[in-house]
């Protein structure tokens, strides 16, 4: 085997990498950083490498042209052996990467790791997060299907709202006034060359600084960061109570990265690739486009915002958010790192996480939006159809054909814009139902002008049957009284 050693020595004499590499892998780190909490950064890096490898393989087949992109994805899905798995790995890899990057960022914030002297590492990380989201968005565009088409349309209309330069901005983004072939080649260049190139360069610098400045020590309450003393304190900690980075801390990174890759593979194998959904053709109106999961929160926010707040929110909130993230290490560059002594930071993190989760969850079932095909596709549950009078049954037909179902659920199916009507008869009397249908109110339009009197009557008769078996419907006591007692006859004056 001496020829192997000779070759190595020949190369090493010229490259001279052995020293720096040894320094990097054997440098001492504080013992308590060899923790399962410190594995997310390396996992994000592993996922980036996975995305690069699967991305290169996809680029061999993918055609970045408006006419052929969609069908080239079909070829990957259906004609190439395991092509679907490759697409699924890239798609799920992207989901995991966004998630792991966000967790990494939350952990760094939670552990106060952005404080002196690691301010620039944090700032680079903020830009890397933006690039990761940029990769996610441009990748969603390259999967040129209906979601992608309309998502891009929304992206363009957001850009168009920028004062003064909105129109030229859209023109640059789309390569013209509309989404066309030039759009896709632009996004291909962004997704394949521009953003990944920058992301890799930033990653290199980010990792370099981690090696040079050392892994952030485990935060201890009562050990605040002080610019004058921190470097010495950290040096003492790493050298007196430290272990070499490899293998002391590194094996946990390796295990976690392997587990993440395995999780991506399992998700890819079980859940399959993302779409493509229907063809990106604006003449197809039977579509309910939705963004991929990392932008679902924005979809919810925009649905709930009043129209006049949309532009301020879209243009001001991101700028403020990024500015806050960038300013953070300068505003709070010293002081306590431990979460025991940083209640505001903990609450901010919890608030952001809960808001993000809630908005994402809401976007999965869009309670604000009618289900436009519920009237023709969701059946009236059979238990509500049997034992109806002919008029009531016609009312059920009116209920379907006038598309009440698109906003009102029955039997768990239908829109959630309005209340579910399974037990509406226990809440409203016949008169109240008529009034509600005819005049609307409480977010419901008035249907008095679009329904004929027999339609309203039949519909309301049907609605009055919607109550549980043992529970009678609501009734107006005075009406029964008026039916049975004739009004008192006035005594005739003599």
Partner 1 sequence: MNLRFFSATGFSALALAASLSFISGCDQAPGASRAEVVERPDQITDFKTLYTQNCAGCHGNDGRNGAALALSNPVYQAWVDDATLQRIISQGEPPTQMPAFAQSSGGMLTDAQVDALVKGMRTAWPANGAFNGLTPPASQPSGQSDAAQGQKTYQTACAQCHSKPNQQVTDPTYLALVNNRTLRTLIVTGRPDLGHPDWRGVVNGQVQPGYPLNDQQVGDIIAYLNSLRSDTPGQPYSPHSQQ
Q: Name the 3-class secondary structure at 2.
A: helix
Shortest distance, position 375 Cβ to partner 1, whole Å? 5
- Which residues face 28 on adjacent strands? 244
Shortest distance, position 131 Cβ to partner 1, whole Å? 28
Shortest distance, position 490 Cβ to partner 1, whole Å? 15
Identify which of 295, 321, 441, 463 has the alpha carbon closest to the alpha carbon of residue 392: 463
- 279 vs 369, which CB is nearer to partner 1? 279
Residue 82 neighbours by CB distance under 10 Å? 10
Residues 269, 270, 273, CA angle at the centre, nearest 5°?
Answer: 65
Identify which of 274, 278, 277 has the alpha carbon closest to the alpha carbon of residue 86: 274
Q: Helix crossing, 83-110 with 343-365: angle to 10°?
A: 150
- 145 vs 336, which CB is nearer to partner 1? 145
Two tokens, residue 308: 């006049």
- 301 vs 378, which CB is nearer to partner 1? 378
Contact 242, 26 (CB under 8 A): no
Query: How far does CA 398 lie from the centroid of its chain?
Result: 38
- Which uninterrupted H or E stretch holds 30? strand 28-30
Shortest distance, position 54 Cβ to partner 1, whole Å? 15
Q: Which residues bind partner 1 (CB under 8 A)?
A: 74, 77-78, 81-82, 84-85, 87-88, 145, 268-273, 275-279, 281, 284, 286, 373-380, 382, 385-391, 393-394, 396-402, 405, 430, 434, 452-458, 460-461, 479, 482-483
- 363 vs 459, which CB is nearer to partner 1? 459
CA–CA distance, 49 with 38 (Å, rounded to integer): 19
- 308 vs 485, which CB is nearer to partner 1? 485
Contact 161, 311 (CB under 8 A): yes
CA–CA distance, 394 with 239 (Å, rounded to integer): 84
- 96 vs 256, which CB is nearer to partner 1? 96
Shortest distance, position 430 Cβ to partner 1, whole Å? 7
Shortest distance, position 403 Cβ to partner 1, whole Å? 9
CA–CA distance, 328 with 323 (Å, rounded to integer): 8
- 160 vs 400, which CB is nearer to partner 1? 400
- Please report the beta strands in 31-146, taking only residues with DSSP state E, as ranges in sequence order: none
Residue appearing with tokens 């950064």: 41
Shortest distance, position 277 Cβ to partner 1, whole Å? 5
Contact 478, 429 (CB under 8 A): no
Residues 234, 237, 243, CA angle at the centre, nearest 5°?
Answer: 120
- 175 vs 272, which CB is nearer to partner 1? 272
In this structure, the chain runs to a length of 494
CA–CA distance, 102 with 132 (Å, rounded to integer): 10
Shortest distance, position 420 Cβ to partner 1, whole Å? 17
Residue 406 neighbours by CB distance under 10 Å? 19
- 9 vs 379, which CB is nearer to partner 1? 379
- Please report the beta strands in 151-255, taking only residues with DSSP state E, as ranges in sequence order: 242-244
Shortest distance, position 424 Cβ to partner 1, whole Å? 16
- 78 vs 494, which CB is nearer to partner 1? 78
Contacts of 378 (CB under 8 A, 6+ apart): 371, 405, 410, 411, 413, 414
Shortest distance, position 442 Cβ to partner 1, whole Å? 21
């Amino acid at each position: 085997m001496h020829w192997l050693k000779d070759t190595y020595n020949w190369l090493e004499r010229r490259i001279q990498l052995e020293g720096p590499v040894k320094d990097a892998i054997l440098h001492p780190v504080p013992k308590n950083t060899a923790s399962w909490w410190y594995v997310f950064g390396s996992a994000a890096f592993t996922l980036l490498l996975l995305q690069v490898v699967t991305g290169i393989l996809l680029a061999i087949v993918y055609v970045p042209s408006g006419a052929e992109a969609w069908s080239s994805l079909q070829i990957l899905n259906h004609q190439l052996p395991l092509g679907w798995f490759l697409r699924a790995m890239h798609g799920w890899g992207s989901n995991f990467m966004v998630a792991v990057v966000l967790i990494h960022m939350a952990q760094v914030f939670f552990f106060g790791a952005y404080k002196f002297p690691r301010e620039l590492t944090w700032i680079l990380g903020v830009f890397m997060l933006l690039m990761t989201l940029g990769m996610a968005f441009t990748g969603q565009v390259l999967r040129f299907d209906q979601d992608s088409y309309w998502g891009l349309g929304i992206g363009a209309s957001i850009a168009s709202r920028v004062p003064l330069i909105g129109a030229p901005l859209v023109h640059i983004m789309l390569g013209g006034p509309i989404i066309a072939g030039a759009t896709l080649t632009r996004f291909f260049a962004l997704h394949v060359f521009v953003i990944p190139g920058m992301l890799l360069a930033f990653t290199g610098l980010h990792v370099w600084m981690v090696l040079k400045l050392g892994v952030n020590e485990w935060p201890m309450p009562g050990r605040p960061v002080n610019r004058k003393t921190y470097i010495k304190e950290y040096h003492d900690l790493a050298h007196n109570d430290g272990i070499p980075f490899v293998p002391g801390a590194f094996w946990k990174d390796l295990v976690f990265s392997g587990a993440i890759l395995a999780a991506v593979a399992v998700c890819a194998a079980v859940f399959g690739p993302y779409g493509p959904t229907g063809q990106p053709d604006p003449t197809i109106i039977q579509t309910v486009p939705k963004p991929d999961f990392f932008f679902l929160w924005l979809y919810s926010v925009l649905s709930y915002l009043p129209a006049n707040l949309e532009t301020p929110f879209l243009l001001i909130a991101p700028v403020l958010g990024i500015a806050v993230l960038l300013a953070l290490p300068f505003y709070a560059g010293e002081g306590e790192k431990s979460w025991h002594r940083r209640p505001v930071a903990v609450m901010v993190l919890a608030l952001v996480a809960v808001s993000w989760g809630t908005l994402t969850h809401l976007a999965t079932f869009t309670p604000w939006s009618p289900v436009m095909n519920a009237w023709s596709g969701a059946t009236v549950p059979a238990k509500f159809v049997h034992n109806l009078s002919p008029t009531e049954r016609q009312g059920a037909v009116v209920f379907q054909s006038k598309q009440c179902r698109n906003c009102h659920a029955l039997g768990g199916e239908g829109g959630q814009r309005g209340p579910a009507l399974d037990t509406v008869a226990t809440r409203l009397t016949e008169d109240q139902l008529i009034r509600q249908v005819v005049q609307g109110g409480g977010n419901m339009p008035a249907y008095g002008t679009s329904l004929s009197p027999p339609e309203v009557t039949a519909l309301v008769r049907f609605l009055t049957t919607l109550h549980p078996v043992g529970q009678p419907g609501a009734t107006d006591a005075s009406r029964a009284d008026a039916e049975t007692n004739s009004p008192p006859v006035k005594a005739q004056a003599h």
